[in-house]
Amino acid sequence: MRTRVQVYVENDVAMAFDHGSAAWSFEVDVWGRCGQGPDEAKALGDLNSQLGKDADLVVAERVRGDERAFHRDHRPATDAERRATLAVLADSRRDVMALVRACPDAVLDWDDPHRALPSYASWRTVRQVAWHIVDTESRYYLPMIGLGYREPAGDLLAELELSAAHVRKAVETMPADLVRTTNGATWTSVKLLRRLAWHERGELAVMRAQARRAAKAPSTSLRRR
């Protein structure tokens, strides 16, 4: 029997594409899952493939433009949403750190000449993506909702540990009903949780794929000898 899943769609956003679409699920069992594409139909298809369900996706709400918030984001964050976020973050940070430790410098710093990125993105290597993860959570997401900015550590592995602890404490202690609008961008407690649960997990998939390609590249193979 097919199930109906409510989804929430952002159009004309700069995420995987410069002016693409993103489709989100707010269900706790798939918390932080987001489908993306150059248009709404492709984003919904991507989300459906991630959910792993025989589901009919029903668009409950749409917003247009970068850094908006859904009406659904304005509900107070639940304990279940916090727990789901913390669980995703713990798993993804463990795996990111393991990947960084396992990769030689030649793989960490390999720049795929065929990789296409949106115009605003500059993180091209595995090492740069790892820094992008911590920069995003500790120096973008948390400051946008008023939870402070932390200076980076000099070492990547140390920063991955320190940033994870900083974010975990913020998630555990922040009020459930934060709302902050700055320069047209609106952030809420729920929006922070879903973005945290989405971001590192998605970037980890990118890092793993990049590392596999790097390991096969002639330039990195030569440098490892």
In tens, the pLDDT along 130-178 reads 999 999 999 999 999 999 999 999 999 999 999 999 999 999 999 999 9
**Cα 74 from Cα 84, distance rounded (Å):** 18
Q: How distant, in Å, are the alpha carbons of 65, 107, 180 from that of 184?
A: 10, 39, 10
Name residues whose C-beta falls within 8 Å of residue 209's C-beta, 6 or more positions apart in sequence: none
Using alpha carbons, select from 85, 67, 103 the residue that is nearest to residue 26: 85
On whether the CB atoms of residues 100 and 126 are closer than 8 A, the answer is yes
What does the angle CA 59 – CA 62 – CA 64 come to, to the nearest 5 degrees? 150
Report the CATH architecture of 74-224: Up-down Bundle (1.20)
Q: Where in the chain are the domains?
A: 3-66, 74-224
Confidence of residue 13 (pLDDT cuts 50, 70, 90): very high
Dump pLDDT digits (tens) for 98-137: 999 999 999 999 999 888 899 999 999 999 999 999 999 9
Name residues whose C-beta falls within 8 Å of residue 19's C-beta, 6 or more positions apart in sequence: 12, 13
Given phi > 0 = left and psi -120 to 50 = alpha, else beta, which region is 188? beta
Please say if the pLDDT value at position 58 is more than 70.
yes
Please say if the pLDDT value at position 60 is more than 80.
yes
Ordered alpha helix ranges (H), 12-78: 40-51
Give me Rg for the CA atoms of the chain.
18
